[in-house]
Amino acid sequence: MTARQPRTIPQPKTFHVTSFGCQMNVYDGERMAELLSAEGMTAVGEREAADLVVLNTCHIREKATEKVYSDIGRLRRDDGTNPLIAVAGCVAQAEGAEIMARAPQVRVVVGPQAYHRLPAMVASAALGGRETETDMPAEAKFAALPKRRVSTPAAFLTIQEGCDKFCTYCVVPYTRGAEIARPYADLVDEALALVDGGAREITLLGQNVNAWAGEDPAGGAIGLAGLAAELAKIPDLARIRYTTSHPADMDDALIAAHGENPKLMPFLHLPVQSGNDRVLRAMNRSHSADSYLKIIERARSARPDLAVSGDFIVGFPGETEAEFADTLSLIDAVGYAQAYSFKYSPRPGTPAATMDGQVPPEVMDDRLKRLQAHLDRDQLAFNQASVGRRCTVLIERRGRQPGQWLGKSPWLQSVHCTDDLALGSLVEMDLIDAGPKSLTGRRV
Ligand code: SAH
Ligand code: SF4
Ligand code: F3S
């Protein structure tokens, strides 16, 4: 028999948050850390040293979900006891009851729209309870969160949550709930706090970030372009980015903003998933390959140096070789600066999981390999074409080698340099060398 966790344990004094999945989870992880710090707990760098471990989980693909259970197992200490374990994020939302049943050492399950309650749940779990909270929607959470206290040179700001699109393969509408947009005034406040804390770049986040809609102080209706224009007025904020956008919500104003708002970076992450219209319809994507290409074309005419990024799924149920080849053609037509690509993963409760024509794993492996060869080729070409460019690089952190810094170009490329620089500075550089994943810069 293994040693049992005592029913009651001392209130945790130290904590560690691990976030998996998308940037919104990274943002949520930062907010949870701020909440716990505000309660007097101390963040520690190592999980092993933490009284409380928060696993902020992702449910998007099967592999991501399995990771939660193996991570829970790995938290057990040599004496058989566990830290106080809280499972947060999208797996908590989707499989909260199952986690509680499968993993008795988990004391807290909290969904992505309910984590403002985390400190209270932890306190009561330490007294011997097991707490589950998976309420939606997100408005209450944002209202209950403390003011931002920590910032990094490049910071995230969630402006929109949830998804009403219901792509047939995707769990997000179920784990994050319906689309909500945070109010304009709250976002301006949070952006100001981030900039006060040292942020020079803010990435506006949302599952459908370009579906954001709000009202400016005069009561006028604005969208993402209007919000970005307003944030651009913050003097010390140098760069604005946004992700992830949906083709159906790329309105004229946002496309035009890429040519008009100098702080909006020349980068567009616009997932397409497939280049074949039958597959796109079966996915319930409300765009065609052609309408997607038109958006890219218009965005590029607004901002000729725009770098385009995308997401792809290979092996969606029923995808034939010829349909897959359409995706390769679309990739060749766009010329992506970077991209994410995935094998289709059937997710419980989604319509695609029970569709006919599930594609065998070895076919998916082969398609993914071929797809990534096209994407890698284009990414390297994009990086190589950047050599000789002069641009501003935001210095975000130390590199691995002594004296090395890592920053980002306007086109979201990682740039290494060894000049004597300061964290958070915006440095004029010449890009002098390129590899598949990064570039080398030299201060002008
Ligand atoms: N809201 C964003 C991103 C959602 S999740 C969008 O619509 O683009 C990020 C990416 O994960 C998706 O773009 C998609 O490419 C991938 N993805 C989502 N569900 C998946 C599944 N069941 N199997 C494989 N990839 C998936
Ligand atoms: Fe998922 Fe589609 Fe919504 Fe993106 S738009 S989160 S892929 S359902
Ligand atoms: Fe994963 Fe949830 Fe983000 S499922 S990708 S953490 S919205």
Question: For the residues of 260-328, what is the DSSP string, one character each?
Answer: H-TTB-SEEE---B-S-HHHHHHTT-S--HHHHHHHHHHHHHHSTT-EEEEEEEE--TT--HHHHHHHH
Output the CA 395–ligand 2 centroid distance in Å: 32
HEC sequence for 334-398: HCCCEEEEEECCCCCCCHHHHCCCCCCHHHHHHHHHHHHHHHHHHHHHHHHHHCCCEEEEEEEEE
Q: What is the CATH number of domain 390-443?
A: 2.40.50.140
Q: Which pLDDT score, from 0 to 100, does residue 6 have?
A: 67
Does 90 contact ligand 3 (Cβ within 6 A)?
A: yes
Taking phi over 0 as left and psi of -120 to 50 as alpha, with beta for the rest, 166 belongs to: left
Output the CA 273–ligand 3 centroid distance in Å: 16
Output the CA 397–ligand 1 centroid distance in Å: 29
Q: Which of 18, 19, 22 for a ligand 3 pocket mutation test, highest count of atoms within 8 Å of Cβ? A: 22
- Of 21, 44, 17, 45, nearest to 33 by C-alpha is 17
CA quadruple 199, 148, 85, 41: dihedral, nearest 10? 110
Ligand 1: which atom is nearest the Cα of residue 340? 15
Does 345 contact ligand 1 (Cβ within 6 A)?
A: yes
Q: What is the CATH number of domain 14-137?
A: 3.40.50.12160
Output the CA 170–ligand 1 centroid distance in Å: 6
CA nearest ligand 2 atom 1, residue: 170
CA nearest ligand 1 atom 21, residue: 345
Distance set, CA 171 to CA 49, 62, 177 (Å): 33, 11, 10
Domain limits of the chain?
14-137, 140-386, 390-443
Ligand 3: which atom is nearest the Cα of residue 23? 3
ω into 327 cis (within 30 of 0)? no
CA nearest ligand 2 atom 4, residue: 207
Q: Which pLDDT score, from 0 to 100, does residue 315 have?
A: 98
Domain 140-386 fold: pyruvate-formate lyase- activating enzyme (3.80.30)
Q: Which pLDDT score, from 0 to 100, does residue 2 have?
A: 45
Q: Which pLDDT score, from 0 to 100, does residue 1 have?
A: 39
Q: Which pLDDT score, from 0 to 100, does residue 5 have?
A: 61
Ligand 3: which atom is nearest the Cα of residue 20? 6
Q: Give mean pLDDT in consecutive 10-residue pieces for the chain, a chain of 444 residues.
A: 63 96 96 94 94 97 90 91 96 95 95 95 93 84 85 95 96 95 95 95 97 94 97 98 97 98 98 98 98 98 98 98 98 98 97 97 98 98 98 96 94 94 95 97 96
Does 244 contact ligand 1 (Cβ within 6 A)?
A: yes
Q: Which pLDDT score, from 0 to 100, does residue 65 have?
A: 85
CA distance 372 to 126: 47
Distance set, CA 441 to CA 265, 389, 438 (Å): 19, 10, 10
What are the DSSP E strand ranges found in 65-216?
A: 84-88, 106-110, 131-133, 154-158, 160-161, 180-181, 201-205, 213-215
